[in-house]
Chain A
Amino acid sequence: MLAFMTRRVLYSLLILLGVTLITYLLLFMLPADPARQIAGRSATPEVVENIRHQLGLDLPFYQQYFNYLMGLLHGDLGRSFIQRSEVSELIGSRLAPSLQLMGMGILFELIIGIGLGIIAALKRDSFADRLLMAFSFIGVSSPQFIAAMLFLYFFAVKLDWFPMGGYGEFRHILLPALTLGLLGSGWYSRMVRSSMIEVLHQDFIRTARAKGLSRVRVVFRHVLPNAIVPVIPMIGIDIGIFMGGLVVVESVFGWPGIGQLAWQAIQQVDIPVIVGVTTVSAVAIVLGNLLADLVIPLVDPRIDVKKH
């Protein structure tokens, strides 16, 4: 277990190093000039140059990246170019709303995805199955910003079932979380469906039926736990996909999370904030995968962490 954890932490650090390096490189190559953005349109070249020097943007690339890494080692994510406050503070104040939305979104996603997957598998090749799979296909392939706006328009503006936006009460979280959940559930319903169909053909399901167990018990005690095993690592990976969705959904619904922060930062070329959000997201993804790896042996006794 100790060896496993040590190795995983080492891998994780390597991944973080890679993620920050690539982010930095991409931002460095960006044609937009943050110094000019801050200085404003009418600023003289001297002023712009001055700002550039102050922010350290005139340093060579490796120097900038090295400074960032050094700061990171001390827990310092740098200072926002625009907002005149520490990036860690900006992110810190927005982490809680994002985590709430993400947790709620994943919950909806799993309930809807697994539920529909079970129904589709049990009614395989029926009309209901085809309908559900068509639905999941739409969910998987529709662009999030369009879906989010359509949901907002229909469910909040037209039908008035949910508030238009805002933060603080439980009812505020429902529509954005549902949007995230509905769009993401397509993956899960497809995976659960095929996994269930595979398990349904296994010998031990025939054994369970030969024991005289009820259909409900066969499905929920024997089929589902076995079908869910391959879905668990998917949840770990999904946190990454979710991060992308957060940026869009938070912006559309005015949710004060790090997704919205990232959206604003990108528009303003606020490099320290962009890199900060990316780093935090990478940490979240790495943690999510680690968590999934630790949960699987609890579900499946054949998988032993020690042997990996």
Chain B
Amino acid sequence: MTAETSRPLLSVEHLSIEFGNRRVVNDLSFALHSGKTLCIAGESGSGKSLTSLAIMGLLPKIARVPSGTLLFEGRDLLALPERQMQQLRGKEIGMIFQEPMTSLNPLMMVGQQLEETVRRHEPVSRRQARQRAKEMLDAVRVPHVDKRLVQYPHELSGGMRQRVMIAMAMVCRPRVLIADEPTTALDVTIQAQILELMRELQREFDTTLLMITHDMGVVAEMADEVVVMNQGVMEEHAPVRDLFNAPQAAYTQKLLAAVPVLGTAPKPESRAAQPVVLEVTDLTVRFPLRSGWFEEARNVHAVENVSFSLRQGETLGIVGESGCGKSTTGKALMSMLAYDGSVKLLGRELNGLKGEALKPVRQDIQMIFQDPYASLNPRKTILDLVGEPLLIHGQTDFSQRKARVAQLLEQVGLPGEAMERYPHMFSGGQRQRICIARALALNPKVIIADESVSALDVSVQAQVLDLLERLQEEYQLSYVFISHDMAVVERICHRVAVMFCGQIVEIGQRDQVLGNPQHPYTRRLLSAVPMPDVDHRRDFKALLKEIETPDPIKPRGYEASVQNYRAVDLDHLVAV
């Protein structure tokens, strides 16, 4: 008996959702089969999350459902009164969310939050509820369970919190588990751990999984069936193999083409003959911890003896997981915080420069940030925003400035009229183009891009990456490209540095580092990347074992031992 002929556990039929007059989900139908995984894939605004909220009966108040049925075991969830939905939620259908950092009540202990779910749905004693909570935390492999039960969420890491979320959703053994972007906010190795856990739990408890994700790699790793959504409409519904091997809908084809796949990017031209523009030697950043009267003074060792050089027209990728010091390195290069060591830009030492002395430096080195929504002042027009660096650097003539802004906007693919408008009138991708235009305004030699495409949908991401490459070609720009996404790094970088706990553990030509990784951490990182390759699903079991990370907080005066490197190949260094 195939999945298609068995009676589905949950079927969504002709579901539509409206916000006012706007239809955000239109005539959506699919079915969940027992024990299987269905992924809803799509970019932002596709209506995939709203669909899952509709199943849970958790749609925001302003949403209306003009048509459709949600059949779960013969009952229409849309017609069920709130009280009966409450009995279903958490008991028959569990759900986990994207943001583990904010999805747990900060004022309740982990144990209390788990027990609360059990006691709501089952007539058990407090002691039994606690026992159930413990068993479930064990099942999601949370170490030191007894200690965790009495901890508050803020005492746990993001990965641990997401495990607690999963345990909480699974504690009553629901038939269906809905996971809305469960790994999007997590580091790649943590993501692999969570995906592996969900596979294990599904096997153990025979749970039916409905997974919402934008990441085609995750889809390929997890799904049995896939629904591709775009702008509230289902573009394609197919078994995962068919979808990846022979996508039918034009949108799916476009989406898959835009996904950067690790190991497929063409080899970049070497820049080894170009002059060095940025030379970083022994860059060290420490943050003093505020201490009390009777406490020992301590430092957070954020960046430790980082050295690299960047050539003209070259892109150096800095990869690593959150807290590894990659963004701090970027800020130090921008002279936005105090550091030790040397940063030489075009032969000029930057360390020690302050105030006015930094002003000419800023013409040569600029930055593009991660969040295009937060990095543009909403009260200024695009003309003001892109023209501001010009104004600061002495371009006071209004008509000249205006002409330059128009030229810059054109370079990043936006019409000149855009300069009259405000940031909220643009999409995320367009805003990032505006940020790029602003960074370009002073004709810099080096641009630091800190996770600059991470917040964008894949198709938009591909366009922005193309733009960055084109600008590099035209103006011989050098990029320091800070990212957690290995596939994107491979796509755009000439050289790659891998950071771990404030240090570079491996650095070299792109293909040396990504193709022939030597350091165990680089290998771990690469093995965690989900691949959009349905025929070779990756086994993340090895990643469930945590590796030891040194405590970055050290007493003041502590000197880190000097990091030695071994040359694997010409230009390819590995920490020993």
Q: Report A's interface with B, CB cutoff 8 A.
A: 2-3, 202-204, 206-215, 217, 221-222, 225-226, 229, 299-302, 306-307
Contact = CB atoms under 8 A, between A and B. Distances in A.
B86 A212 contact: yes
B58 interface: yes
Interface of B: 56, 58, 82, 85-91, 94-95, 97, 99, 102-108, 116-117, 120-121, 152, 154, 165, 168-169, 290, 292-294
B89 A211 contact: yes
B293 A213 contact: no
27 contacts: A2-B294, A202-B102, A203-B102, A203-B103, A204-B104, A207-B97, A207-B103, A207-B105, A209-B89, A210-B89, A211-B117, A211-B120, A212-B85, A212-B88, A212-B117, A212-B120, A213-B86, A213-B116, A214-B86, A215-B82, A221-B108, A226-B107, A299-B107, A301-B152, A302-B106, A302-B154, A306-B292
Contacts of B116: 211, 213, 221
B60 to A, nearest CB: 10
Q: Which of A207, A209, A210, A306 has the most CB of B within 10 A?
A: A210
Contacts of B120: 211-214, 217
A207 B104 contact: yes
Given A204-B102, A222-B108, 5 more contacts: A207-B103, A211-B90, A211-B116, A212-B86, A226-B105
B105 A212 contact: no
Contact of A212 (B89, B104, B106): B89
B149 to A, nearest CB: 14
B290 A212 contact: no
Given A211-B116, A212-B86, A212-B88, A206 B103 contact: yes
A211 B90 CA distance: 4
Contacts of A222: 105, 108
A210 B107 contact: no
Name the residue in A207, A212, A307 with the highest tally of chain B Cβ atoms < 10 Å from its Cβ.
A212
B107 A301 contact: yes
A13 B99 CA distance: 45
Contacts of B89: 209-212
Nearest to B89: A212
Contact of B97 (A203, A213, A221): A203
Nearest to B168: A211
A2 B293 CA distance: 10
A215 B82 CA distance: 10
Q: Which 10 A-B pairs have the closest CB atoms?
A: A212-B90, A212-B89, A211-B90, A203-B102, A210-B95, A203-B103, A3-B293, A301-B152, A204-B105, A211-B117
A254 B18 CA distance: 62
Contacts of A207: 97, 103-105, 165, 168
Contacts of B169: 210
A248 B68 CA distance: 63
A212 B91 contact: yes
B58 A210 contact: yes
A297 B267 CA distance: 56
Contact of B107 (A203, A209, A217, A300): A300
Contacts of A210: 56, 58, 89-90, 94-95, 97, 169
Contacts of B105: 204, 207-208, 222, 226
Contacts of A208: 105
A204 B106 contact: yes
A214 B169 CA distance: 16
B356 to A, nearest CB: 37
A300 B86 contact: no
A203 B88 CA distance: 20
Given A203-B99, A211-B117, A300-B106, A3 B292 contact: yes
Contacts of B107: 225-226, 229, 299-301
A162 B102 CA distance: 50
A193 to B, nearest CB: 17
Greatest chain B CB density within 10 A among A206, A207, A213 is at A207
A215 B57 CA distance: 13
A146 B106 CA distance: 44
Contacts of B152: 301-302
Contacts of A211: 89-90, 116-117, 120, 168
Nearest to B171: A211
- Which of B82, B169, B292, B293 has the most CB atoms of chain A within a 10 A radius of its CB? B292
Given A209-B89, A212-B117, A307 B290 contact: yes
Contacts of B121: 212
Given A226-B107, A299-B107, A212 B87 contact: yes
Contacts of A225: 107
B273 to A, nearest CB: 51
Contacts of B290: 307
Nearest to B106: A302
A222 B105 CA distance: 7
Contacts of B293: 3
A3 B82 CA distance: 52
A297 B103 CA distance: 21
Nearest to A299: B107
A69 B88 CA distance: 69
Nearest to B94: A210
Contacts of A217: 120
A152 to B, nearest CB: 42
Contact of A3 (B103, B117, B294): B294
A301 B106 CA distance: 8
A212 B82 CA distance: 10
Contacts of A214: 86, 120
A206 B53 CA distance: 10
A59 B345 CA distance: 71
Contacts of A229: 107
A208 B58 CA distance: 11
A305 B169 CA distance: 34
Contacts of B90: 210-213
Contacts of B85: 212
B295 to A, nearest CB: 9
A2 B116 CA distance: 36
B268 to A, nearest CB: 41
A155 to B, nearest CB: 39
A207 B108 CA distance: 13
A307 B289 CA distance: 10
Nearest to A1: B292
A226 B108 CA distance: 10
A118 B56 CA distance: 25
Nearest to B294: A3
A173 to B, nearest CB: 34
